[in-house]
Chains A and B, each alone.
Chain A
Amino acid sequence: MADPMRIRAQAAGDKTTVRVLMSHEMETGQRKDSAGKTIPAWFIREVSATHNGKPVLQAQWGPSIAKNPFLQFVVKGAKAGDKIAVTWIDNKDDKRTDEAVVS
């Protein structure tokens, strides 16, 4: 199981800015190790976010997203105390979900 994500959701008026920092290698499949062998690709392919259980954002990522990916988005109508959950699935079908409360 991968390390937990760090999620921060801050409300300002009727908008909530969510910042997510995931912990992932994001290997592109283009690099070679010291023995000249290609390191196989290993990256997050799908990311989804929910607001109080309702899906609000879906994303598909390629290998060119940076290591330990950062994602920022704005949810309309989320109030303090609401729950924002983020899930990712990588190309090895490993997955992780973390949840944060809007402050």
Chain B
Amino acid sequence: MTTRRKVLTQSAAVAGLLAGVGLLPGAAQAAWSQAAFEAKSLQEAVKALGGSAPVESKDVTITGPDIAENGAVVPVGAACSLPGVKRLLLLVEKNPNTLAAVFDVSDAVEANIGTRVKMGQSSNVFAVAMMADGKVLYAAKEIKVTLGGCGG
């Protein structure tokens, strides 16, 4: 028997799903992947960008300091030695929003990107390479922060 309560919980669940994939009006964004940038973990962020489950790989490298004195400016780099990289992602595990940046790499650019991120606290930093054949590879590095960059 379907009670009213059941129907209500089900429709709430469906609404939640729709909001998750950005189908509800208001959540729609142009090119910027809102859902991916709101993700709270590596798996969620990769999934929101349409990737499969990430696998750790030696072919992806992440560069950065072991200890960052100032969390407001932490130089990090992501690189992948394999051909056929479509996207490079940089993520900071313990930031309020895990995903920091997505780079769409074309054939004319090497899969080697450097930038600077903010880190709220010591955390794992991930470099993720999404390959043209659908594989998702990642590398992790722990960066210790002595002074957080997200506090006021």
Footprint of B on A, CB under 8 Å? 15, 26, 28, 30-33, 39, 45-46, 49, 51, 54-67, 69-77
B33 touches A60 (CB 8 A): yes
Contact A62 B100 (CB under 8 A): yes
Report the interface size for chain B: residues with CB under 8 A from the other chain: 37
Partner of A74, one of B110, B115, B118, B119: B110
Known: A15-B110, A28-B118, A74-B110. A62 touches B37 (CB 8 A): yes
Contact present for B101 and A62 (CB under 8 Å): yes
Contact of B31 among A39, A54, A60 (CB under 8 A): A60
Q: Which of B72, B77, B99 lies in contact with A66, CB distance below 8 A? A: B72
Closest 3 CB pairs between A and B?
Answer: A72-B114, A66-B116, A74-B110
Q: Of A30, A69, A73, which is within 8 A of B113 by CB?
A: A73
B102: Cβ under 8 A from any A Cβ: yes
Interface presence of B122 (CB below 8 A): no
Is A67 a contact of B73 with CB atoms below 8 Å?
A: yes
Within the complex, which residue of B77, B102, B106, B119 is in contact with A55, where a contact is CB–CB below 8 Å? B106
